[in-house]
Amino acid sequence: MDGFFPPAPARPSLAVAADTLFRRYDAWFRRVLRKRYGDMADDLAHEAYLRTAAHEAEGKVRYPKAFLLNVANNLATDQFRRQKREDDHIAYSSALTLQSTAAPQEYQLILKQIVLALPPELRDVFVLSHINGLTHRESALQLGLTERTVKERMRRATLRVAAAMRD
């Protein structure tokens, strides 16, 4: 032995890694995903194979089945969060639009009553943002809260206002 290490074996390419993962685990993997996520299973499987193949090609995956499931679960969680944010945004947007044929003065009175009925911690954040036009950061500084707390309270306040406006 001359002290040199033998050359490292060539890493499989991304396509070979994805193909290998697909051939070995697809029937099992899609069955598990369909049970957990229904219609999302095929999209999750596709994305999970692509992401796992990148790590597999570098030789970093010890337990491919567990890795695939973990990647798919994380993707599903991201998708659910994204959908929740979109739903909240729609509720937020619709909360402040005129949803009835009431005269503007009546509308303003109804909105004022709804805002006054909010719990104080939600009302303060809502008023600072929508009435005074402050950003979340400015509201946080004024109220002595974290920006994350202000965002969460604003989200809750907006959802309550939207629900009350629909009723």
- Give per-residue pLDDT as tens, 77-96: 999 888 888 877 777 766 65
Q: How confident is the model at residue 9 (pLDDT cuts 50, 70, 90)?
A: very low
Residue of 47, 43, 40, 41 lying closest to 18 (CA atoms): 47
The pLDDT score that the predictor gives to residue 84 is 85
Give the torsion through C-alpha atoms of 113, 144, 85, 53, to 10 deg. Answer: -170
Mean pLDDT is highest, among 31-35, 127-131, 155-159, for: 31-35
Which of 86, 95, 87, 83 is CA-nearest to residue 122? Answer: 95
Record the pTM. 0.51
